[in-house]
Structure 1
Amino acid sequence: MKSALITGVTGQDGSYLAEFLLEKGYKVYGLRRRTSTPNYENVEHIKDQIEWISGDLTDMASLIEAVRVSNPDEVYNLAAQSFVAASWPQPVATGQMTALAVTNMLEAVRIMKPEARFYQASSSEMFGKVVETPQKESTPFYPRSPYGVAKVYGHWITVNYRESFNMFACSGILFNHESPRRGLEFVTRKITDAVARIKLGLDTELRLGNLDAKRDWGFAGDYIKAMWLMLQQDAPDDYIISTGETHTVEEFVEIAFSYVGLNWKNHVVLDEKFVRPAEVDLLLGDCTKAKENLGWQLDVSFDELVKMMVISDLQKYESVTHGKSLQWT
C-alpha cells in the first residue's frame, strides 16, 4: 500500500485528491492545522479514512514530525493562502504561507524522506501580465499580486531542490479550476451561490468587479488526476494543467443565470470595490505537454462545470425553502 501526505487536505483540491487516492488504495495522511473550529466540510464523508497529523507549514519541526510519522511515498503540497484578493492586505502572511512554507515542506522531506515524490501546487497567477498567449511551461512569469509573487517563489524553490538535491519534485502550473467545493470568496462560487439565492427569493442582486477578465476554467476533479500522474512518471518535470479555452467572467455569469431562467442584467451590479489593484486580464494555458506526456484528459466541460456548481448551490438552500424538494438536472 502506498502512502501519501497531503497539506491543504480540507480544501477544494485536497478533498478531491484524498478521495482519488483512497479509491486507489493509498493510505492518506492529512496535515491539519490546529484551529478553534476545525472545518471538515469538504472531507466529512471521508474524514474517518484519513490519518490526521497536526502541523503548520510555518513550523518546520511539525513538518519534520509529519513526514516521520507518515513516511510517505508521495507528498502533495496544496496548502497556502490561496485567495488572490486577500494577498494585498496580507502580503507578509501570504509570503510566509504561500512561499516560504514551500521551502519548509521541501526541507522536511529532504531531511526525513528524500526519496519521496513531491508535488508543488503552482498557479497560472504566476503569469500575471502575460507576455505571450497561450501560456506554456516556457512562458516567463510576470506576477501581478503578492499571491502570484509568492507562488513564483514556491515554484522556483521546487525546481531548485530538484536540481540541487536530485529530489523527485514536480510543479503543476494549474489554471483556474472550480467545483461545488470552491470557497465562497472566489468569484465563480460567489456567482453560483448568488444565482441560487436570487432564484429562491433569498436575495436580489450580485455585486461584481471586472466582468471582462478572461480565465481558463476547468473542473478541480479533473485537475487532481494530473497531480497524481506527474508523480507516476519516470522523471520529474513541471506541467501546465488547463483546458486551453478562455471565458470571461460575464460568460460565466450569463450561463449561471440563464440555467435558472433569469436575465443576469437584472441582478448584477458592478462595484469598484471588487476590482483588483493590478488586474490579470487574460489567462489561457497550453496543456499539450500534459496531454502528450501524462496521458491526461478533461472530462467536464465549461458549461457542465457552471451548471454543476449552480445545481449544488440550489440544493444547498433547499432547507431554507421550507424543505421543498428541488429537482435540478
Structure 2
Amino acid sequence: MQTFDPESPGDVPVALVTGVAGQDGMFVSRLLLQRGWRVVGTIRPGSRSVDRMRPYLAGVEVVEHDQRDVEGFAAILRRFRPRSIYNLAGFSAVQASWKAATEVMLTNSVAVVEMLEEVVRFRDEAGFAPRFVQASSAEMFGPETYGMLTEGVAHDPRTPYAVSKSAAHYAVNAYRDRHEVFGCGVIMFNHESPFRGRQFIAGRIARLAAEVAQGLPTRLTLGALDVERDWGAASDVAAALVAALDHDTPSDYVVATGESHTLRDMLRVAFAAVGRDDALDHVDLQPAMWSTIQASSLLGDSTRARERLDWHPLVDFETLVKGMVETDLRRLGTGVEESADYL
C-alpha cells in the first residue's frame, strides 16, 4: 500500500482521477477520500454529467479538462503534483464509436500516449513520477474469444472503441518497459452500478423493471437476448483499480467475476426484484441492432488480481441487478434522480 504520514505538513497524497463523473471515477474517488487522500477529478469542459453525479462527489476537487489537451494535462501535473493517476476518462460507447472513430482514437489512445510522455517529463523535472493506471476493456479481445480470458490473451479488436483501448493498453506496457513508468492496465469486464449512465443496457433494464412495477407504459428494444457477459459491480472494480496502484510492482490485471450471464438472465433477475416474471412482454427485439463483430461471450480469469492484490468480487450478479432496480424504484418514488442516500 502507498503510505504517507498524515502528521507531516504537505504530505497528504494527491490522486488525479480523470473522468471523475463516471461511475468508476466516483467509486475510486470515494475510496481514496476515505483513506485520507486529496482527490482531484477531471470532467470534460461543458459536461453536464457532473451535475448528475455531484451528490456523490463531495470532497472531490473538480476541474474541467479536455482529455486531448496535452498542455492542459501538463499544467495539471505541475499544479497538483499527484502521486497516482487513474485514467478513467474516454469515449465508452462501443457501437457509437463507429460514428466518431477519429475522435475515439484521439481521446482513448493518442491522449494516453501523450499523458505517459508528460508523466516521464514530470518525473525528470520533479524527481518523482505518479503511478498510472489505465482503464482497459475486455472488448479488446475481440469477437472470437473462447473460455476464460487472461492478461496474456492476444487482442483482436474489431471496433474503433476496442482498437483505441488496445492501443492505449499496449502503450502503458511499452512505457513501463522502456521508461520504467509505474503503469498498470486494468482490463475491466462489464461492470455496473445504479450510477452508470442510462445509455448503457444494464441501466435501461433496471429502469424498465422499475417503471413496469409502477404501472408505467414502457418498453425496451434489444438486439439479442443471449449475449453473455461477465458482469460485476463497479464498486468491486474500483477496489481493484486502487489495489493495482497500491502494489509494489506494476502489472496488468484482468478484473472479472469468472461467471457469465446473459441479457435474458438480467431481465429475469430485474423483474423478479419487483415480483414479476413477464420481462419479455416488455421487450422488442431488433436483431439488426446486434453487431457480429462484438463477442457473443466474454468471460474473465482474475487469478492474477486475486493472488497478487488479494482482490475478490464482493457483489454477486443477483445482488447487483436487484440493487439497481431498487435504486430506480426509489428514484421514481421520490422524484429525486440522484441523492447521496442512494449509495
TM range (shorter): over 0.9
Q: Which residue in the other structure is 1:327 paired with?
A: none
Q: Which residue in the other structure is 1:325 paired with?
A: none
Task: Supply the distance in 2 between the matched residues of 1:173 and 1:196 (Cα, whole angstroms).
Answer: 31
Q: Are residue 52 (structure 1) and residue 66 (structure 2) matched? A: no
Q: Are residue 175 (structure 1) and residue 189 (structure 2) matched? A: yes
Task: Supply the distance in 1 between the matched residues of 2:48 and 2:189 (Cα, whole angstroms).
Answer: 30
Which of residues 269, 272, 295 is equivalent to 2:310? 295
Which of residues 102, 106, 112 is equivalent to 2:122? 112
Which of residues 71, 75, 80 is equivalent to 1:61? 71
Query: TM-score scaled by structure 1?
Result: 0.93
Task: Supply the distance in 2 between the matched residues of 1:43 and 1:5 (Cα, whole angstroms).
Answer: 17
Q: Which residue in the other structure is 1:276 paired with?
A: 291
Q: Which residue in the other structure is 2:274 paired with?
A: 260
Q: Structure 1 36/137 Cα, relative in aligned 2: closer, same or farther at 3 Å?
A: closer
Aligned-partner residue type, residue 39 of structure 2: V
Partner-residue secondary structure (3-state), 2:194: coil
Q: What count of residue pairs does the alignment treat as equivalent?
A: 320
Q: Which residue in the other structure is 1:76 paired with?
A: 86
Q: Structure 1 149/240 Cα, relative in aligned 2: closer, same or farther at 3 Å?
A: same
Instruction: Provide, for residues 268-327 of structure 1, a one-character-per-residue CA deviation record: whole Å limited to 9, x for no partner.
Output: 111235322523101000001110111001111000000000001111111459xxxxxx
Task: Supply the distance in 1 between the matched residues of 2:121 and 2:51 (Cα, whole angstroms).
Answer: 30
Q: Structure 1 115/145 Cα, relative in aligned 2: closer, same or farther at 3 Å?
A: same
Partner-residue secondary structure (3-state), 2:134: strand
Q: Contact conserved, 2:14 with 2:84, CA < 8 A, in 1? A: yes
Q: Contact conserved, 2:172 with 2:184, CA < 8 A, in 1? A: yes
Q: Structure 1 54/111 Cα, relative in aligned 2: closer, same or farther at 3 Å?
A: farther
Q: Which residue in the other structure is 1:40 paired with?
A: 51
Aligned-partner residue type, residue 311 of structure 1: E
Pairwise mapping of residues 303-314 of structure 1 onto structure 2 (< 5 A)? 303-314=318-329
Query: Which stretch of structure 1 is more off in the superposition, 308-317 or 38-47?
Result: 38-47
1:230 is displaced (CA, Å) by: 0.8
Q: Are residue 197 (structure 1) and residue 211 (structure 2) matched? A: yes
Q: Which residue in the other structure is 2:224 paired with?
A: 210
Task: Supply the distance in 2 between the matched residues of 1:315 and 1:203 (Cα, whole angstroms).
Answer: 18
Q: Which residue in the other structure is 1:230 paired with?
A: 244
Q: Contact conserved, 1:9 with 1:31, CA < 8 A, in 2? A: yes
Q: Contact conserved, 1:120 with 1:170, CA < 8 A, in 2? A: yes
Aligned-partner residue type, residue 304 of structure 2: K
Instruction: Provide, for residues 49-101 of structure 1, a one-character-per-residue CA deviation record: whole Å limited to 9, x for no partner.
Output: 11233321111100000111110110000001011121111111111111111
Task: Supply the distance in 2 between the matched residues of 1:233 and 1:32 (Cα, whole angstroms).
Answer: 27
Q: Which residue in the other structure is 1:156 paired with?
A: 170
Task: Supply the distance in 1 between the matched residues of 2:53 and 2:45 (Cα, whole angstroms).
Answer: 17
Q: Contact conserved, 1:178 with 1:218, CA < 8 A, in 2? A: yes
Instruction: Provide, for residues 148-183 of structure 1, a one-character-per-residue CA deviation record: whole Å limited to 9, x for no partner.
Output: 111000100111111111110111001111000111
Q: Structure 1 233/36 Cα, relative in aligned 2: closer, same or farther at 3 Å?
A: closer
Task: Supply the distance in 1 between the matched residues of 2:273 and 2:64 (Cα, whole angstroms).
Answer: 42
**Runs (4+) off by over 3 Å:** none
Q: Which residue in the other structure is 1:147 paired with?
A: 161
Task: Supply the distance in 2 between the matched residues of 1:286 and 1:21 (Cα, whole angstroms).
Answer: 26
1:36 is displaced (CA, Å) by: 6.5
Structure 1 gaps of 5+ residues are 322-329
| Percentage identity across paired residues of the two chains | 38
Partner-residue secondary structure (3-state), 1:231: helix
Q: Are residue 186 (structure 1) and residue 200 (structure 2) matched? A: yes
Q: Which residue in the other structure is 1:239 paired with?
A: 253
Aligned-partner residue type, residue 66 of structure 1: I
Which of residues 259, 263, 283 is equivalent to 1:249? 263
1:205 is displaced (CA, Å) by: 1.9
Q: Which residue in the other structure is 2:339 paired with?
A: none
Task: Supply the distance in 1 between the matched residues of 2:33 and 2:145 (Cα, whole angstroms).
Answer: 40
Task: Supply the distance in 2 between the matched residues of 1:200 and 1:67 (Cα, whole angstroms).
Answer: 48
Q: Structure 1 104/44 Cα, relative in aligned 2: closer, same or farther at 3 Å?
A: farther
Q: Structure 1 69/279 Cα, relative in aligned 2: closer, same or farther at 3 Å?
A: same
Partner-residue secondary structure (3-state), 1:90: helix
Task: Supply the distance in 2 between the matched residues of 1:232 and 1:259 (Cα, whole angstroms).
Answer: 37
Structure 2 gaps of 5+ residues are 1-11, 337-343
1:130 is displaced (CA, Å) by: 3.6
